[in-house]
């Protein structure tokens, strides 16, 4: 669909420039589309449609810039504060990726990942604070898997905001699953 739009755009652009247009190329490179239109021998206009997905480390790097943003229930505004799913929404929206707004809506979203295949950038889902109710109620982004899983999330607990946390016994008892959306 995007390719059809871009081809139409190039066609219209080439017709709007009159007879000056000499060459138009459409190249597809690794899920990205590059459009190049040569108007005359001295001027070339290039445009790249970045439809490629960000790498997990780009997601993690941006998420880490939000460490210290306070917790605010129901908010996706980094200037006011973030709840756990608001944090995830804000991070992915930064990369123009639409995700569900509520943590419970991630229950059937993405691809479930088996524990031995977990990678940094995957989302880790937990129950709410009452671990006996097995519905998703909290979430974070896995940032490391070396000796111990560590994740970044917005918590209403002791740290009260965006922070990193090891997968300790408290969170192990609340663990629901890991999903991948990238």
Q: Which of the residues 84, 125, 141, 178 is marked catalytic?
A: 84
For residues 66 and 79, give the distance between their C-alpha atoms in angstroms, rounded to a whole number: 10
pLDDT attached to residue 51:
52
Active-site residue flag, 84: yes
pLDDT tens for 69-103 read: 999 999 999 999 999 999 999 999 999 999 999 99
Residues of the chain with pLDDT under 50: 1-50
- Residue located via tokens 């608001």: 86
Which pair of structure tokens corresponds to residue 38?
């040569």
Q: Which of the residues 60, 91, 138, 152 is marked catalytic?
A: 138
Q: In CATH, which superfamily holds the domain spanning 56-180? A: endopeptidase domain like (from Nostoc punctiforme) (3.90.1720.10)
Pairing of strands 175-180, 123-127: antiparallel
Active-site residue flag, 153: yes
Which pair of structure tokens corresponds to residue 140?
């974070």
Backbone angles phi, psi at 84, to 5 degrees: -60, -45
pLDDT attached to residue 163:
98
pLDDT attached to residue 170:
96
pLDDT attached to residue 6:
39
State the virtual CA torsion across 166, 170, 176, 182 in degrees, nearest 10.
-20
Distance set, CA 59 to CA 35, 63, 64, 93 (Å):
27, 6, 9, 10
Q: Where are the domains of the chain?
A: 2-49, 56-180
| Closest by Cα among 25, 48, 26, 23 to 38 | 23
């Amino acid at each position: 669909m995007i390719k059809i739009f871009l081809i139409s755009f190039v066609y219209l652009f080439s017709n709007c420039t009159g007879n000056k247009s000499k060459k138009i190329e459409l190249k597809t490179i690794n899920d990205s589309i590059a459009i190049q239109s040569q108007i005359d021998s001295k001027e070339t206009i290039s445009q790249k449609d970045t439809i490629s997905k960000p790498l997990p480390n780009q997601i993690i790097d941006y998420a880490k810039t939000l460490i210290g943003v306070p917790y605010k229930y129901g908010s996706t505004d980094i200037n006011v504060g973030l709840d756990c799913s608001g944090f995830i929404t804000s991070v992915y929206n930064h990369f123009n990726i639409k995700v569900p707004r509520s943590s419970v809506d991630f229950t059937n979203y993405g691809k479930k990942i088996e524990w031995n295949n977990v990678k940094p950038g995957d989302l880790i889902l937990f129950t709410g604070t009452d671990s006996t109710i097995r519905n998703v109620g909290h979430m974070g982004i896995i940032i490391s898997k070396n000796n111990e899983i560590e994740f970044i999330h917005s918590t209403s607990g002791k740290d009260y905001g965006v922070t990193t946390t090891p997968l300790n016994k408290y969170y192990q008892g609340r663990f629901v699953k890991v999903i991948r959306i990238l």
